């Protein structure tokens, strides 16, 4: 018997791969048009559930340095199921702290075989190796699949 969670996680990866090639655009979340890292996760969520759980407030490119608040982590904890870092699997959201003691302000989706899909300024949505540079910056992981998934 197939584990439904694994099947849904594979669907999340397929959806995220559908965003590859979308140009980077700060605060956007439109497949093929433009998105940032949060916009990618928001867009995949919409494809799973039909609507977002909340609309994020406007944020500047330097929001992490300005506010000092763990806004991204707080929102993830409100809407996603936490996953221990050592249990991350394809389809899970991963959140990064880019500098020690800085706030967490980047996210992506684990795609498998040591890879992730994320949106990066200058590159857009791409699939990259989750190498040492990224692994050492992981601060938290989450599952997009919450409650009774009905996608």
Give pLDDT tens digits for 98-122. Answer: 988 888 999 999 999 999 999 999 9
Specify the pLDDT at position 55.
Answer: 78
| Cβ contact 66:60 at 8 Å | yes
Specify the pLDDT at position 148.
Answer: 44
Tokens of 151: 């996608």
Integer Cα distance of 93 and 38 in angstroms: 10
Tokens of 60: 């500047």
Stated pTM of the model: 0.89
Closest CA to 36 of 133, 100, 120: 120
Question: What are 79-101's pLDDT values in tens digits?
Answer: 899 999 999 999 999 999 998 88
Q: Cα 90 to the chain's mean position, in Å? A: 12
Which helix (H) or strand (E) covers residue 110, if one does?
A: strand 104-112
Is residue 7 predicted with pLDDT exceeding 50?
yes
Question: What are 52-79's pLDDT values in tens digits?
Answer: 878 777 766 665 555 678 888 998 999 8
pLDDT band at 4 (very low <50, low <70, confident <90, very high): low
Q: Which CATH number fits domain 4-143: 3.90.1720.10, 3.50.50.60, 3.40.140.10, 3.90.1150.180?
A: 3.90.1720.10
Kindly write down the DSSP assignment for every residue of 112-132, as one continuous string: ETTEEEEEETTTEEEEEE--H
Could you state, in order of their start, the residue ranges of all structural domains in the chain? 4-143
Q: Give me the helix-helix angle, 4-17 and 37-49, nearest 10°.
A: 130
Tokens of 30: 């439109």
């Amino acid at each position: 018997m197939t584990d439904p969670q694994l099947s849904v996680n594979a669907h999340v990866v397929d959806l995220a791969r559908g965003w590859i090639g979308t140009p980077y655009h700060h605060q956007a979340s439109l497949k093929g048009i433009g998105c940032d890292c949060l916009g990618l996760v928001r867009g995949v969520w919409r494809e799973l559930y039909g609507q977002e759980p909340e609309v994020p407030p406007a944020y500047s490119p330097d929001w992490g340095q300005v506010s000092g608040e763990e806004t991204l982590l707080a929102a993830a904890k409100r809407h996603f199921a936490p996953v221990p870092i050592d249990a991350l699997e394809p389809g899970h959201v991963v959140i990064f702290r880019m500098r020690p003691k800085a706030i967490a302000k980047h996210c992506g989706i684990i795609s498998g075989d040591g890879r992730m899909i994320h949106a990066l300024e200058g590159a857009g949505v791409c699939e990259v190796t989750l190498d040492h540079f990224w692994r050492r910056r992981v601060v938290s992981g989450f599952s997009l699949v919450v409650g009774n998934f009905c996608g």
